A and B are shown apart, each in its own frame.
Chain A
Amino acid sequence: MSRVAIVGVGQTRYSRESGRSEWQLAVEAISNALTDCGIDPGDVDGLVRYSYDNVDEAMIVRSFGLKLRYYSQTGFGGLGAPATLAHAYAAVASGQARVVVCYRSLNGRSTTRYGRAERSLGTGGGDLIATGDRAPSGAFAGPYGMLSPGQVMAMWARRYQWEAGLTEDELAAAMGRIAVDQRAYARANPDAVMGGRPLDQAGYLAGRVIATPLRIFDLALETDGAAALVVTDAAVGPRPAVWIRSAIQGLIPYAESIATYGELRNGPTYRSLGSRLLQDADVKPADLVSASIYDATSVSVLLGLEGYGIYPVNGAARAVIEHGIGPESPLPVNTSGGHLSEAYVHGMNLVIEAVRQVRGESMNQIPRSGPVLVASGPSGLVLAP
């Protein structure tokens, strides 16, 4: 199998108001990632970005004077984070590119706020804005006030509660444990936006209800910031190489939307994708040292833990109530604080934390060496030293 590694990571400061353009943020994050691995921009020949990113390839090409042989995009929001690395992995393994940069840049608080449905509705106003068939905000969802990701993921949480046979208090205990444990990780992370704000279960329960059963602490932050990673075919630079052992970029009916027309993200098709990802890496769930699981909302972590086979279907909530996701738990998750407490860079900061764990450089380093999972719905990676 081809050997492809993540050799550089870079980010900007994470804030609620960067005061800078998304272009500037992207250039800073990419520049930091190249510095991290000591690769000259002249050696970069590939770029992968989110289709949602406002900073296009040509802007990066002219910022750094790049000469590209390869570029590509990944769709559907947060599914794109592991998927950008999957593209880079394929491009490098096939020889289409030698050094690929993956990036995401967004002024997610000061400009386009996903929590206010501004990604899907736009900020320009106008009446006829519930359009298409995607949820949130499509013509079949928007008229009912399902306009933002949190409003739809509240549906997931209520359904999961019912399928798992949980009381409302048990669901809150499980989701609260995720929020509390991720906040505890953020306390040690100087980059975390919420690092200075301790949270306990009582504080979680006292949080404002946004859309039942979700409270404010169940929802991802909105952040201004950018993150970038550098992928190539050899261990280069001063940092330990992080090898990509397997990647999957799945799309199944309704995965392109966050609607609940199809199966929940612990359903059989998701479990099949998750199982294939680990099998391709020759890794069993028990082998994983830590995981980055996409946490647009806390319930996504519960569903991801089941979708990737860490816990049995409908078993994650009780396991999390008992063990949490902290450093002593069977599988520590989102050890930077994640989207709930570090920053929301649309999944890219979660990939960077997985890289730090494999390198042994996390602020919340898990003191074991081994494979680390990155999971975002039907897209995922297994990274290893």
Chain B
Amino acid sequence: MARADVPTIDSASAPYWEAAREGRLMIASCGACSKVHHYPRPFCPHCWSEDVHPVEATGSGTLYTYSIVYVNDLAPFKDRLPYVAAIVALDEGPRLMTTIEGADPGDLQVGMPVTAAFRPVDGDDPDSPYLTVFTPIKEHA
């Protein structure tokens, strides 16, 4: 069965995906201007330097926006409906597309604090790429 959720990995994005397998979230940092960006690119989008390298992000951020998706007939999503698609703004600044796990979709709020977690795209495939997902940060009394 064809899947619509398997990412194509290229040389610029490989460090991101390799780190995700190890439970780390990498964003790209520029050696010339020190600014960070995501998704990874061969050039810094701020100063065009090619001196870009992955740096580990804290994994903390806030929920920038989200949607609970009820209609999608592509595998594997058709068996997961409804699912949450989301964008998180990292504390370092860049945003990334993701999903939110470990929360009732009805409890999601734009602006809520979240933290990164990692899981395989395809749990049955030992070589599967790992996705960065986010979970709400529990309020501690």
Chain A interfacial positions (CB closer than 8 Å to B): 116-117, 121, 125-133, 135, 137, 139-148, 151, 154-156, 158-159, 161-162, 208-214, 253, 259-261
Given the complex of chains A and B, what is the CA–CA distance between A1 and B12 in angstroms?
47
B131 within 8 A of A: yes
Partner of B7 from the list A121, A143, A209, A214 (CB cut-off 8 Å) is A143
Which of A132, A209, A214, A261 is most buried by chain B, counting CB atoms within 10 A of its CB? Answer: A261
Whether A158 lies near B70 (C-beta < 8 A) is no
Partner of A211 from the list B64, B67, B94, B110 (CB cut-off 8 Å) is B67
> Which chain B residues lie closer than 8 Å to A127 at the CB level?
2-3, 6
Whether A130 lies near B4 (C-beta < 8 A) is yes
B23-49 to A contact mask, C-beta < 8 Å, 1/0: 000000000000000010100010000
Whether A151 lies near B85 (C-beta < 8 A) is yes
Partner of B72 from the list A126, A139, A145, A158 (CB cut-off 8 Å) is A145
Whether A145 lies near B77 (C-beta < 8 A) is yes
Interface of chain B: mostly helix, strand, loop or mixed: loop
Whether A260 lies near B64 (C-beta < 8 A) is yes
How many Å from the CB of B137 to the closest CB on chain A?
19
Whether B67 lies near A125 (C-beta < 8 A) is no
Given the complex of chains A and B, what is the CA–CA distance between A180 and B68 in angstroms?
24
Q: Which residue of B lies closest to A125 (CB)?
A: B2
Interface of chain A: mostly helix, strand, loop or mixed: loop
> Which chain B residues lie closer than 8 Å to A140 at the CB level?
7, 13, 39, 96-97
B8 within 8 A of A: yes
> Which chain B residues lie closer than 8 Å to A158 at the CB level?
65-67, 110
> Which chain A residues lie closer than 8 Å to B66 at the CB level?
155, 158
- Are A261 and B85 CB-contacts (below 8 A) given A128-B8, A129-B6, A159-B65? no
> Which chain A residues lie closer than 8 Å to B98 at the CB level?
144
> Which chain A residues lie closer than 8 Å to B85 at the CB level?
144-146, 151, 154-155, 211
5 A-B pairs closest in CB distance: A154-B67, A139-B7, A131-B8, A159-B65, A162-B110
Given the complex of chains A and B, what is the CA–CA distance between A140 and B4 in angstroms?
12
Given the complex of chains A and B, what is the CA–CA distance between A158 and B67 in angstroms?
7
Whether B4 lies near A121 (C-beta < 8 A) is yes
Whether B67 lies near A260 (C-beta < 8 A) is no
- Are A211 and B45 CB-contacts (below 8 A) given A126-B2, A140-B96, A142-B7? no
Q: Which residue of B lies closest to A162 (CB)?
A: B110
How many Å from the CB of A297 to the closest CB on chain B?
11
- Are A144 and B131 CB-contacts (below 8 A) given A155-B67, A210-B70, A211-B71? yes
Whether A145 lies near B96 (C-beta < 8 A) is no
> Which chain B residues lie closer than 8 Å to A146 at the CB level?
85, 97
- Are A210 and B71 CB-contacts (below 8 A) given A145-B77, A259-B97, A261-B95? yes
> Which chain A residues lie closer than 8 Å to B103 at the CB level?
none
Q: Which residue of B lies closest to A117 (CB)?
A: B74
B121 within 8 A of A: yes
How many Å from the CB of B56 to the closest CB on chain A?
18
